[in-house]
Structure 1
């Protein structure tokens, strides 16, 4: 039976899993959450976040996790006076769970086209809304580490950058039972959905350290990446079968259907 390996953190593959189950009931789903999200609940960071909101000109949520963990840290309604920016549809959906929508009077910047759901696409939209970011205070809400490119663009225009780490990512332990799903499956009959470069690096490291049974996953399984950058990371790490598509579950479904059709 062909397999699809879903590698997002637990809870974030639910919609995709349901869509896949309806469209491809013959596909066996393997849940392999390569990273877990641990919210920051430090009172000092909550205080700092509340102090930064009134003096910021724009808040950038780097991911759906950033939205959920920021609101958890804030424990208050988001101020309508502070515009927000997000990369794509997942973050827009997360904002809507907290009533942060254009219909409710919030200013939200995000790329419209799923093919532009990345930092470059967001930067294009932001530059259409503002002639210059010089002197503006930009608040990044993110995980520990995370994206740097977008912040560099603001800095090059003379903006002032502040950031609050609202969560951290924990890699899946090497002895976690979730890995058994791989061990029991055939890599040449499997497609793995990769949505994070950091998760991809952890995946490759585990496969190489357990080469007695896992090396074939590097060579035979199809790696489906949700950005060209992740595909480049896959190539650098030694994966042999790589494809990529625009972010978003709908784009993933199209690619998965192509893969499944070609397998039959």
Structure 2
């Protein structure tokens, strides 16, 4: 049984995603650009997040760190959400001499727009492992490093930064919460028609299949997924998903991958 509802379109004139319904699973605050790019290619973006963003349980350390930015030699934002919240709550210009480290090209561009002069970001491998390969992340002996992230998360960055000699301050800018969505809601979502779902984190994959009971699980396992990182691909496979495509990173790259996939007739 397929969940897709495809309209009759003229392949000679249609945009690449015409008639396609693409599920954007990101938190609402991060979904806008990707959704707009999908719709610019003729698709319908279904905005149903798998993670909601809420303030940290204790916001005081985050606020204190922002007030003391000049005491740090480097600030690392682990995620786009951490970056956006950091600059949104700063309330003043970013210190010109303070470098920023981020993972993805979108975050690097936003950091520069926000006023950061020196931005460290991997050009190709857009994850923590890639960031740690950058020259500016190597010799950190005695460096005072602020790491901003969500509550929980992987320990690779903080452990490696500390091992390289950094004096590390780690604060939570937010916490992730599951959405108000249950098995019945997932069934309704699938019944409305989904041609593909874009997942941007392995945590979102886990939340998705935790929410799914018997009615939705098998249908979710047969959906087509696009994921930008091997960890997310592996998480989806671990939950029984059988159709997973590795897409390019960044919003533009993700949409390019979607367009490429749907450009040719699919079996």
TM norm. shorter chain > 0.5: yes
**Post-superposition offset of 1:94:** 2.9
Q: Say whether 1:155 aligns with 2:174.
A: no
Q: Distance in 1 between matches of 2:238 and 2:173?
A: 30
Q: Is the 8 A contact 1:49 1:74 kept in 2?
A: no
State the match for 1:92 in structure 2. 108
* Structure 1 range deviating more: 227-236 or 168-177: 168-177
C-alpha displacement of 1:4 = 1.1
Output the CA distance in 1 between the equivalents of 2:130 and 2:137.
15
Q: 1:98-177 alignment to 2 at 5 Å?
A: 98-100=114-116, 106-113=117-124, 116-125=125-134, 128-129=135-136, 132-175=139-182
User: What secondary structure, in the 3-state scheme, does the structure 2 residue paired with 1:77 have?
Assistant: coil
CA distance in 1, matches of 2:89, 2:144: 21
Q: Which has the higher helix share?
A: 1
1:59 to 64, 70, 75: 75
2:94 alignment partner, one of 50, 54, 78: 78
| Residue 182 of structure 1: how far off its partner (Å) | 1.7
Give the corresponding residue for 2:244.
Answer: 242
Mind listing any 5+ residue stretches in structure 2 that lack a counterpart?
Answer: 1-5, 7-19
Change (3 A) 1:152 1:257: same
1:77: Cα distance to partner?
2.2
Calculate the TM-score normalised by the size of structure 2: 0.82
> CA-to-partner distance for each residue in 1:168-224, whole Å, 9 max, x for gaps?
11211235997465242356xx211000111111011112x2x22x12333311111
1:2-25: CA deviations, max 9, x gaps?
Answer: 4211101113222222222222x2
Change (3 A) 1:50 1:18: closer
d(CA) in 2 for partners of 1:205 and 1:154?
33
Identify if the C-alpha distance between structure 1 residues 262 and 135 changes in structure 2 by more than 3 Å, giving closer, same or farther. farther
For 1:196 and 1:68, locate their aligned partners in 2 and report how far apart those are by CA, in whole Å: 17
Alpha-carbon deviation of 1:238? 1.7
Q: Which moved more, 1:9-18 or 1:33-42?
A: 33-42
> Given the superposition, is the C-alpha separation of residues 97 and 39 from structure 1 closer, same or farther in structure 2, using an over 3 Å criterion?
farther
Encode CA deviations 1:84-116: one digit per residue, 9 max, x unaligned. 10101221233244233xxxxx21111233xx2
Cα 1:78–1:147 change in 2 (3 A) is farther
Gapped regions of structure 1 (runs ≥ 5): 101-105
Q: Number of aligned pairs?
A: 248
Task: Supply the RMSD in Å over aligned alpha carbons.
Answer: 2.5
Equivalence for 2:196: 191
- Tell whether the 8 Å contact from 2:66 to 2:86 is kept in structure 1 after alignment: no
Match of 1:90, SS state, is helix
CA distance, structure 2, for counterparts of residue 226 and residue 4 of structure 1 = 15
Instruction: Indicate the larger mover: 224-233 or 131-140.
Output: 131-140
CA separation of 1:181/1:256 partners in 2, compared to 1, >3 Å: closer, same or farther?
farther
> Which deviates more from structure 2 when the two are superposed, residues 42-51 or residues 154-163?
42-51
